[in-house]
Amino acid sequence: MSVASITAPGKRGPEWLTIPVCISLFFLLMILGMAVFGPMILGNGNELNPMMRLKPPSAEAWFGTDNLGRDIFARTVSGARNSVIVGVTTAALVLLVGGALGVIAGYFHWADMVLMRVADGLMAIPGILLAIALVSLLGGGLVTVIIAIAVPEIPRTARLLRSVVLSIRELPFVMASVSVGSATHKIILQHIVPNAIGALMVQATYVCAAAVLSEAALSFLGVGTPPDVPSWGNVVASGKDYFRLAPWIIAFPGIMLSILVLSINILGDQLRDQLDPRLTKRRP
Amino acid sequence: MNSFVFKRLLSVVPVVLVVLVTVFLLLHIGPGDPAAMIAGENATREQIEEIRQRLMLDRPLLEQLWLYLGNVASLNFGESVYSGFPVMSLILQRVEPTAILAIYTMVLSILISIPMGVWAAWRAGTTLDRALVIASVIGFSVPVFVIGYALVEIFALRLRWFPVQGYKSLADGFLACIRSLTLPAITLAFLFSALVARIARATMLEVLSEDYIRTARAKGARNRRVLIVHALKNIGVPVVTVIGTSFAALLGGVVITESVFNIPGMGRLTVDAILTRDYPVVQGVLISFSFVLIAINLLVDLSYALFDPRVRQ
């Protein structure tokens, strides 16, 4: 059982639409709305206001202000954009590259050995450290951050896909296709990939959640998104030295980060339960 | 048994090589001249040239790699560009807090997560089980620094049970040291025990539906005996595996936690080195962390023989 499968007694509607899933969808839509419209309505919250330094939450500044008098509410709402972009793009990048490498390793024995040894090696370097090193070497910026977060995630996804492909290629309909002489690319595109999509999508949700966390961690350590772009990690980092005086600087973006990652993980769990009938049956 | 150990030991070689080559190449994948990058923006032509000579960046790439591998093999990670000290001695100075924090977190997490996971599986479907499942998802969804600052706010600033930040070394006394690391260890234990408890619960559920558990119950064994003697041993392999694979996340968390709690460990060394562009130190730390990770996963694989007699044959 996962959180997502918790239901209210006597409820109606589709089986997958459980209470946690509804709450997660609601928060995801809210954060998506913040990401799309936030910067348009509230700007990027970079306006300095020396008269309003380190003010606690009030009617004027709902989430308080930071040490430069910047409005935490505006920065938190607009910061959603950065997290959403990093999460979605990283997941897409990892899915494409890791998925392709996984299919190649799983289907072609000649590539398997080399690719998996490289994957083992890369997975032996703690991901966040590799990402920090990559950002500092490639220089800051959104694209670099996405690449740096994606690189440590790719081997894990490739490994997972490889094991999925290995089991699919032993299935009778794939064997049949091989024995009637179908072209290799046709077998891969028509039989292997469609059957691996489910596992890939579940993996994508986890990568997305991990990417959001990694971006926040990088920005928190001062090597992530450039300081002029509001991002939740940046806002938390700006509150680092003032957390005794002004805990609200850290609290609000921190809560948003937690909600976003939690929602993605819960939806990922639900997707996994939905796609893997064995898990559902085993559920007590 | 011996051939199993030997094969596993041998499989470390390519992993170590890939790590070393990757870390070596890191310096060379960036745009521009590595020597100029290390020297910084205000360096003169002579300074850049001097660094190029000293770090042997003027030699062909393969020769540099060969020299690098040779140096690492003799545990020589070069010298810090910033302070001039050997990287190895910088790492050794900083290893104590990080090692104690990692071990403390591991002990704490195992003590919390395995009983919780087992208990949740035993009471599967109850409110308690659901609460634990929710707690576990929250545990690995909430960023480490958020948990860290929340704990500081509650237990250090309000209740004053623990110091807010800083580290007392073992030389100041064991208890003082443990006290200064308790909040950081709890912070990391949230993440780590969430991962372990999830797996412990899932495997326990599977084990409890096995025939030998039914047999044990049928012959009248008590609940506690069924759980501890018959079931617990069989969740060993997956649980130890997840401890090994999550250790990478733990080390990543250590870097952030050290920054939150102002602990002068290897994580802070890494971040400081990155910010001052001290690449030999960055490389040294990356390699050291990776070697620890490789060693942990080697131990994990070897421990399978403890839990599963089939591996021994």
pLDDT of residue A132: 87
Of the candidates A124, A221, A262, the beta carbon closest to that of B137 is on: A262
Out of 3.40.50.1820, 3.30.230.30, 1.20.20.10, 1.10.3720.10, select the CATH number for domain A64-282.
1.10.3720.10
| β-sheet bridge partners, residue A71 | A65
- pLDDT tens, residue by residue, B18-71: 999 988 888 777 666 777 777 766 778 888 888 777 777 777 888 888 888 888
Nearest CA in chain A to B156: A244
* B 167-206 near A (Cβ less than 8 A): 205-206
pLDDT computed for residue A146 by the predictor: 92
Identify the CA nearest to B114 among candidates B211, B192, B213: B192
Spell out the domains of chain B, with CATH numbers in brackets: 2-73 (no CATH), 87-312 (1.10.3720.10)
Nearest CA in chain A to B24: A133
Tell me the percentage of chain B whose pLDDT exceeds 90.
Answer: 13
Kindly determine whether residue A6 and residue B164, on different chains, have CB atoms separated by under 8 Å.
Answer: no
Q: Which residues of A touch B142 (CB under 8 A)?
A: 257-258, 261-262
pLDDT at position B212 over 80: yes
Alpha helices by DSSP H, B30-60 = 34-39, 45-54
Are A102 and A162 spatial neighbours (Cβ–Cβ below 8 Å)?
Answer: yes
pLDDT tens profile B57-93: 777 888 888 888 888 888 888 888 778 788 888 899 8
Predicted local distance difference test score (pLDDT) of residue B102: 92
Quick: pLDDT tens for B159-177: 888 887 888 887 888 888 8
Cβ distance A217 to B252 less than 8 Å, yes or no, reads yes
- Look over chain B and give the mean of its residue pLDDT values, rounded to a whole number: 85
The dihedral built from the CA positions of residue A8, A10, A14 and A15, taken in this order, carries a sign that is: positive
Res A182: pLDDT: 85
Across the interface, do B141 and A265 touch by the CB < 8 Å criterion?
yes
Task: Note whether A282 contacts B153, CB cutoff 8 Å.
Answer: no
Distance (Å) from the C-alpha of residue A169 to the closest C-alpha of chain B?
26
What distance in Å separates residue B23's CA from the closest CA in chain A? 9
Q: What is the pLDDT of residue B98?
A: 92
Quote the minimal CA–CA distance from A49 to chain B in Å: 26
Average pLDDT score over residue span B9-20: 88
CA dist A16 → A3, A4, A22, A25, A44 (Å)? 12, 8, 10, 12, 37
CA-nearest residue to A6 within chain B is B130
The rounded percent of chain A whose pLDDT value lies above 70 is: 88
CB B303 within 8 A of CB B287: no
Predicted-complex ipTM score: 0.85
Identify the pLDDT of residue B108: 93
Instruction: Give the gap in angstroms from C-alpha B292 to the nearest C-alpha of chain A.
Output: 9
pLDDT score recorded for residue A2: 63
pLDDT at position A281 is 41
User: Are residues A125 and B289, on separate chains, in Cβ contact within 8 Å?
Assistant: yes
Write out residues in chain A with pLDDT < 50, as ranges.
Answer: 279-284
- The span from the CA of B108 to the CA of A23, in Å, is 32
**Residue B38 CA from chain centroid, whole number:** 28
Q: Using an 8 Å CB-CB cutoff, list chain B residues near A213.
A: 143
- Residue A226 phi/psi, 5-degree rounding, is -55, 145
Q: Are A90 and A198 in contact (CB under 8 A)?
A: no
The beta strand positions in B77-173, using DSSP E, are: none
Lowest mean pLDDT among A67-76, A264-273, B136-145, B233-242: A67-76
Pick the residue of B144, B274, B277 with the most A CBs within 10 A to test the interface with A by mutation.
Answer: B274
Which residue from A124, A128, A138 is facing B19, i.e. has the nearest CB? A124
Our CA-based measurement puts residue A235 at a distance from the nearest CA of chain B, in whole angstroms, of 12
More confident site: B48 or B102: B102
Substitution target in B13, B142, B242, B251 with the highest count of A β-carbons within 10 Å is B142
Q: B266 CA to chain A: closest CA distance, Å?
A: 11
> What pLDDT sits at residue A87?
92
Compare all CA atoms of chain A with the CA of B269 and give the residue at the minimum distance: A129
**Percentage above 70 pLDDT, chain B:** 97
Whether the CB-CB separation of A119 and A60 falls below 8 Å is answered with: no
Mark yes or no for CB contact A1/B275 under 8 Å: no
Residue in B22, B147, B191 to test binding to A, most A beta-carbons within 10 Å: B22
- Do residue B19 and residue A220 have CB atoms under 8 angstroms apart? no
User: What is the predicted pLDDT for the residue at B83?
Assistant: 81
Per-residue model confidence (pLDDT) at position A71: 77
